[in-house]
Amino acid sequence: MIVQTEPAPVIGRPRSRAVTVLAVAGVVLAAALGGIAALLAVAALTAVPAVFVAAGIVTFVLLDVAGMALVARRSPPARRRAARWRLSAWTAVPLLALFAWTALVPPPVPPPAAFPGARLVRVATGSTLEVVRVPARAAGGGPPVVVVHGGPGVPDLAQLGRTYGRLAERGRDVYLYAEAGTGASTRSADPRGYSRERDVADLEALRARLGLDRMVLLGHSYGATVAAQYLTEHPGRVARLVLTSPGPPDPADRSGDLAQSRLDTARRLRVYAEVGAPRPMLGYLLLQVNPAAAHAFLPDAEADARNDRVLTLAGPALHCHGAPAPPPARGTGFYAAQYPQSASAPRPRDLRPGLAGVRVPALVFKGSCDYLSWRSAAEYRRLLPASRLVYLPGAGHDLHIDRPAEVVAAIEEFLAGRPPGLPDHPEPGPPPGYEGPA
């Protein structure tokens, strides 16, 4: 007598398990991508996190169930229904739990530390700015120095104040402030409120609020572009201009994207791990489609604390290789930094037409290890007829930390109307030994 046995389910045969695993993985990946796409599509229409997150979850579950139904067709007909729900449960439940834990649960956020000696100043634009004044320690020094920090979104008041506060010894008041969106200054409910135009308007409003007739503008990195744009709009208010590691006046210059290329592989991977974590990555994606939705999902305190950690990890890129570890970043502003660079932000304007021929005396600094292009500094030297470009070997982007004594000494000579004691570099090309892009 021949006994017929039921064939083993195809899904359980060893030779087909690899195909099944690949099919399940493909379904999960497609469902996850579909869920993210749905979340972002709904977020473009509403800034309510509960709505766009729910849309993403529902889409993921529906796609996962539908996909697993296709995979389950490899089972015998009598077992397909059970196989479909079993596969869906095995994939959707753990992944949704992981998503909730890593993307929806905010981490604890330490309270921001106040900067010693700072005060909050309300200006006519509606912004409230954190301002530090270092009073002159001698008489008759001339117009005050106003320091405009870099980033955008990186106030660095401690290090900038430690270096440029020394200018007070020559009889000048020195003012430092945190731009809107950074430090203890105003945070916008909608990140679309951050722009270079706003920073320039706030600077003029702060000048008026402080009662300054004319000032020496000292701009670092992004702050140099704020100072340069301010010069084009209010040339009569600028007595002298100092630009350190200036951001490029030409918006087509994208060398600012190269900072992480100066990090070693291990450090770069740590940066990628921090920015690529599910919650901050989702916040970044939301920022590209609806900044208000991003802000509702990832509030300022959390976003800024994460930004501090990322910039601390990336800090060595701002210095020459082998330099001492830079101090940790504090008080940075995620949205002030990221929205102006996002897909939905308007492009910054070209500063070159407005700067060409302006005869305000200017001193431009460039370090040998700066990640920005040489052209970003040389363009200011070319455009401003009363300018000098000085080169500092052994200094990185943050040359006020790497070579503070030389920088301050050169600025003091420049403010006194004397040559800065360092050679001028009028040539458009970089000198030998410059490590950044041309």
What does the pLDDT read at residue 7?
A: 45
Q: Please report which helix (H) or strand (E) contains residue 304, including its range.
A: helix 300-314
Q: Please report which helix (H) or strand (E) contains residue 89, including its range.
A: helix 80-99
Domain range 113-438, its CATH number among 3.40.50.2000, 3.40.50.1820, 3.40.640.10, 3.90.1150.10: 3.40.50.1820
For residues 348 and 222, what is the distance between their CA atoms, to the nearest angstrom?
12
Strand bridging mode 128-134 / 119-122: antiparallel
With beta carbons less than 8 A apart as the criterion, state whether 218 and 227 touch.
yes
- Residue with the bigger pLDDT between 249 and 112: it is 249
pLDDT exceeds cutoff 90 at 57: yes
Q: What is the mean pLDDT of residues 271-285?
A: 94
What does the pLDDT read at residue 111?
A: 77
Position 97 confidence tier, pLDDT thresholds 50, 70, 90 = very high
What does the pLDDT read at residue 78?
A: 64
Bridge partners (DSSP) listed for residue 218? 147, 242
What does the pLDDT read at residue 13?
A: 56
Q: Please report which helix (H) or strand (E) contains residue 209, including its range.
A: helix 196-210
pLDDT exceeds cutoff 70 at 15: no
What does the pLDDT read at residue 205?
A: 98
**Nearest CA-CA partner of 436 in 243, 223, 257:** 257
pLDDT exceeds cutoff 90 at 407: yes
pTM: 0.90
pLDDT exceeds cutoff 90 at 306: yes
With beta carbons less than 8 A apart as the criterion, state whether 212 and 230 touch.
no
Distances (CA, A) of 123 to 135, 206, 369: 21, 6, 37
Place of tokens 């008489």: 139
- Residue with the bigger pLDDT between 105 and 406: it is 406
What does the pLDDT read at residue 6?
A: 46
Q: In this structure, is the dihedral angle defined by the CA atoms of residues 166, 372, 216 and 336, taken in order, positive or negative?
A: negative
Tens-place pLDDT, residues 342-353: 988 999 999 999
- Residue with the bigger pLDDT between 353 and 257: it is 353
For residues 386 and 188, what is the distance between their CA atoms, to the nearest angstrom?
38
- Residue with the bigger pLDDT between 115 and 149: it is 149
Looking at 31-45, 84-98, 345-359, 371-385, which range is the least confident one? Answer: 84-98
For residues 87 and 84, what is the distance between their CA atoms, to the nearest angstrom?
5
The mean of the pLDDT values for the chain is 92
**Nearest CA-CA partner of 212 in 119, 116, 144:** 144
Tens-place pLDDT, residues 122-139: 999 999 999 999 999 988
Distances (CA, A) of 368 to 321, 393, 394: 11, 5, 6
Q: Strand, helix or coil at 215?
A: strand
Structure tokens at 238: 């600028």
pLDDT exceeds cutoff 90 at 62: yes
DSSP one-letter code for 432: T
What does the pLDDT read at residue 14?
A: 55
- Residue with the bigger pLDDT between 157 and 115: it is 157
**What does the domain layout of the chain look like in residue ranges?**
10-104, 113-438
Bridge partners (DSSP) listed for residue 364? 243, 389
Tens-place pLDDT, residues 417-430: 999 989 999 888 99
Give every CB contact of residue 229 below 8 A, 6+ residues apart in sequence.
196, 197, 200, 349, 351, 354
DSSP one-letter code for 201: H
With beta carbons less than 8 A apart as the criterion, state whether 199 and 180 touch.
yes
